[in-house]
Structure 1
Amino acid sequence: MRVKSFLPEGPGALIRSLPGKSLVFLSALWFISIQGAQATEPPLRNLLEDFKGGNPQSQALARQRLPSLGLRVVPDMLQLLSGKDEKLSKAACDIILQLINDVSAPGREKDRKKLADQLVPLIAPDRSEKDKVAGLRLLERLVPPGYDVAPIAGLLADNNLREKARTALQRINTGEARNALRSAVASADPLFQVALLNSLGEMKDAEGLEIIIRLAVVGTPEVQAAAIRALSWTGDPSYLALARSVRQNATGESRFDSFDATLRLLEAMTARGGNWEAVVREYGELLKTSSGPSWQAVISALGQIGDERHVDLILGSLDPGDPQGFHIGLHALSQLRGAAATHRMVSLFPQAATPTKIALLPILAAKNDESTLPHLVAAARSADPAFRKAGLEGLGVSGQPSAIPVLEEFARSGNDEEKKLALRGLLTVGQACSAHGVRNEASRAMNTLYQLAQDDSQRREALKGMASNPSPESLDSILAAAQVESLRDVVFPALQALAGTLVAAGQGDKAMVVYKKILEITPGAQDLAAAAAGLQKLDPSLNVAEMVGFVTQWWVVGPFPLGEDKSGWDQALIGEPNVDLAATYPSGDKQAAWKRVQGSADIGKVDLLKEVADCQACLCYAYTEIEVSEEADAVLCLGVDDGEKVWFNSSLVLDNFTQGALVLDRDKIPVHLKKGINTLLLKVYQNAMPWEFCVRILSPEGVPVSFTQKKP
């Protein structure tokens, strides 16, 4: 197998490079491998027999294996292709097509030419029309550049096959194919001249331009139109005059063809660039003489490349009685770019017919130009319901800040349909103002939307908008939203953004209200930390931690070694769960005593590296007492770096030996608070890096529990 794998890459060179004995051995091995391969490959004769008459399974296998035998199967396939059995003929054609695909791969140019030589006889003069059609179908996929296409070109004179021959040459599209089509033009009848010119145009035949230009001058009207179409791919503005002349000479069906050819030339000129004025001018001329589909094509093109000079033409030609043309004209107006085109539409709007005005309102609105607002406002306040609806919708689409007061008016006092449209418009305008950095107007739109919203989906969008564009004026709306449970996930960002804005505006008292509201509705840890930090900046004397249920007064003692196999974790190093705050305990070569500490003012965090020791693989204890006036169920919420054991009222309620950073409220333990004093003891493990913890006490509903602690 190894010999077989490298022989195709150059067996002769490889063999010649080997010493004599190796050469003999390798030659023998090569012979054996070839014989083995031949022994496993069914002979061509057997495969052909199966292919022609075997059972379906054998026939299918033969169909799969025959192409692998290469070009030596072609003679037999050609015989079957020409036979009377249509099923076999088709199957043989499919195999040849597969061979064509194989030899068309790079590096197989010789095989490609050889296969073409084998197929050309199919189109010989003495072959049947069926064979010729099949041959053209195969050759158009195969003929390589530089190949003689004369046999195919010869069929251009056959009235029954000339269209198939032309199509084949067009698909071959080599220099030889283009020359064959070009040479046939002069002697062809006008009908076939049109077809030949279409092919030369599709093939972008630069060498045939002189012939094509001559036919545009001397050909029949149909030929002249086809010649302009064949020239159109060039995008050459020098052909415009010739195209104009052909249109003037056109008769009957050639009028549409000549018009279409000019449009193609103009499209190519547009794509080529540099001739905008000439293109626009010619479109204007075409518009004067066009109608129906031709007019629609010109209008569409002007919408793409026109300017304010074409507004009058397009607007003046709109006919509501022609729905398709009316729609195309409106679309063209919507496509016109530039403020000048918009201003021209605005100036012509009053003279338009009523149906046209209603249809123009959304187009004007979408221009996002303030000059359109007077028409939109006037329409919204019209007595005509259709105008009012179009005007209100347009005000929203406009995205203009000036639309907000009118939308607010209808959102408050309009009928049900108008309120819906106005609220939707406020959302759209608010989002547009936000996107363009017009923050105050965006906030106003979103604030009004919240106040007048008809459902929670609108309120949620309004809160998102107020979070992105916080303003002191939205204070009441956001505080009201904070009371709605279903809006909590979107109200937190709005509250935080508003608090920052109030601080920046020098309204610290209002910012304090907002921060306290954040704490009151028990946010997640991240929101809690942000609110606590904000409150601390406003009033450093505040103990925010106690406001939201954090335990801040502690006694700590340590450090103690973790020991091998964390033996210290399960040892009662201080006699736990009992606690004697007056006792001392061995800690290395010292005695460790209880130390009174206070947690941070934001989240009650105790830094054990600072308060106990800077150590690794060590332990310490933390103890506190809390007093409540009534018994109640509660939840201990702990954040610890790294692991902890917890005793509540002397009962072990958590054993969590782990490693990891402090995460607020990571561990939650249901407990029952008894009336009076309750005790809490922690055993805290330190691996490395930070060593800290914080604890807060919440009700099962997540509300901070009211409790007291003795101050140090």
Structure 2
Amino acid sequence: MKYFLIALASAVIASQALLAAETPASDPYQGIAQYVFGGSRADITAIEAEIRKTPVEQYPAIEQRLLNVLKDPAATVDGRRFVCRLLGMVGSAKSVPALAELLSHEQLAHPARMALEPMADPSAGAALRAAMPKLKGKLLAGVITSLGMRRDNEAVPAIARAALDGDPAVADAAIRALGFIGTVEAARELGTLAGRVPEGLQRFVAQAQVICAGRLLEAGRTADAAAIYKALYVPQQSAAIRLAAFQGLVATSQGADALKLVVDSLQSGDAHMRAATLAAVAGGTKELKTTLVAQLPSLADEAQLAIIPVLADQTDVSVRQSLLRIISASRNAAVRSAALEGLITQGEAGDVPMLINMASDEKSADAAAARKVLERMSRSGVDEALIALVQKESGTSVATGIAVLAARRTSAALPVFAKLARSADARVAVEAIKALEVMGGDADLPALAELIVTTADAAVRDAAEAAASAICSRATDRAACSGAMLAALRKAGTTAARSALLRVLPRVRDEASLLAVKAAAADKEADVRDAAIRALADWPELSAAPHLVELARTADQRYAVLALRGYLRLAAAAKNLPAGDRVGMYRTALELAQRPEEKKQALAGLADVPSVEALGVLRKYAADAALAQDAMNAIVRLSKNVGIINSRQVLAVLNEIKAMTPPQEVMTQIDAAIRELEKGSQADGYIIGWLLAGPYMQEGKDGAALFDVAFDPEKPAAAAKAAWQPIAAAKIGSGAYAVELNKTPMAGSNRVAYFRTTLTSPTAQDAVLHIGSDDGVKVWLNGQVVHSNNATRAMSPGQDKVKVRLRQGENTLLVKLTQGGGEWALCVRICSPDGRPLDNVSVGVQE
């Protein structure tokens, strides 16, 4: 169950507790008049809801009621503040006088001007202008800011005077406001101020001039804007202002003037200016871009390198012809590469032959760049042009075209690939087969198998083998793969063909293919026999294991080693095989191994099998002088996987090998493992070590319905049939220990799992189980149900407290955990009746 249910439950409880406090008054307008910050907002919410559902033409009634509150001397300051905000939504010229009166109010000036600022009625601007002579300090600065946001040109003279105010906050607000107003008059005043304000405000004037020029440009006053940009583009200004001015100059210049600005900047050594230039070009007019495109081939190399990527990305101009001229004429490889890359977006289908020729020329410095362009060209018709080219051309250009089509994943080319795979030109055939390796499907397998059988060209055969292997690896129809490969194998007349087909069969992975490989392992032809044995050793599924064992027993040493290594690889990969069966595989390998290398490989593999049986095998080889250190290292590794579950057996083995006086490095690891295990399978009372069985499901039943369905682990007569695997609880954020099954391969919805462990008590005693579960939980102690809670909830440690009686000695604890969806977790802590961890109880599950 989702953890957010906790928060949801808390919210419900809180909302019930506060329900009365959040109920609006019978008249919310009277209620808002008494509002104090931190109190209920129910009246404010009620008025906001009324505004949302009221047509605009009916706003005057709401406005009047709000004005009544605003003018009420008994209304709170907090209430009137909210009224101002609401008047900003519904207010009209009628509200202006009341709001204007508040512009000098220390606490209400801000909300009042925020209500006036967006009002379209001219009276709002007039009220703000009229207030200026009466205000000073932050109140005056606020009114000036609002006039700037309104772009009130009538206020320009008064704002200009305020820009010389001795209060820096007022002066700063005035300068910025002139910039936002952005009229010719505001620009004139800013120009005058530039030489009059203190040095500390000069940069604010320059910033305001940039903004003002932008407003003028938007209004079509290009000449006025250009004059400002020109005045700012001087060394005395900061780099940021000069960059902005330069971009403005580019935007306001035309033809040759704009081109000169751009080219001079691109060819300068100023990286910041170059970046500003590129941004100006990208955002510039179509006329500017067209002029630049025309001059592009004649620009210096450095300028071309900078501008080509920008122009190539523009959709409103065509750069193609200029790029083609640069590609054919430039002596600079980097410039040609940039121009080629520009064709990714600007190139057309007609450019394909030229690019194919370049990409096919192994001596050309531009071959790789041309190939990249072909693979990524985005215009329509490119795929069709490539397909047409590979069908009518010959030689290297065809091979290149095929490779490009494969890289582009052009599915329409598949029939062409199949046809060209039979080409007499080996280069073409190999490239077509490589394309099928990437894109081909089951339908291409018969032809590939036929090629393997019939071709006399080793390169073609190798390519066909690789393609068939790739297709069979990803195919879902194993029968189609098997049919094609085995039919070809039956009629193959050469050793090379038979060997190639045998190497494909491990990718097919079906029983018929496995039997064919096994039969070929006894072939009279040595090369065929070699290919078959290697294919068997490479087989990816456990079905090959018996055949590999047979080979390891009967073949000569070279192939016996190969077979045994294949067998060990299967054992290591068989993670889902029951632990006992995996241990059996490693036992067999140890019995068959003649060399220490394979024996050591088997011992290392046993360390990854979470089983006490594996521990026993390793203990046996710890007494073998030639393998002792490898066996001991494996025991230490295994102890970390199974020690928490089988601590007694593991501790006993660790102490035994410690007594054998191993090398110091191994001794240090053994001591560390012993110390870790002696802490036990519990921490602060939390049970860490468990055996886990499941998941168990039943068609048509959700997690809650499965709570009362008895599966094998809870049936005494069937419990032995359950497959148990060790699992350990991990520390979670709260400091508790929990098993989070949603983070394991068992994760899913509508299922149950069972946990089992053994509690060993030195005496009969009372205890309390503190249980947290997501979702439902049922608990048995020594076969008796002691707790049952079919809950749907998020897990929290200690949600349920269960009183139990432990008997002296071993006590079996069984827990059933249901799962609806989402998180799935269990947390169990064993405590004394007074709530303290029960430290004298040990936890040590035995398999």
Query: Shorter-chain TM-score category?
Result: 0.3 to 0.5
TM-score normalised by L of structure 2: 0.41
TM-score normalised by L of structure 1: 0.47
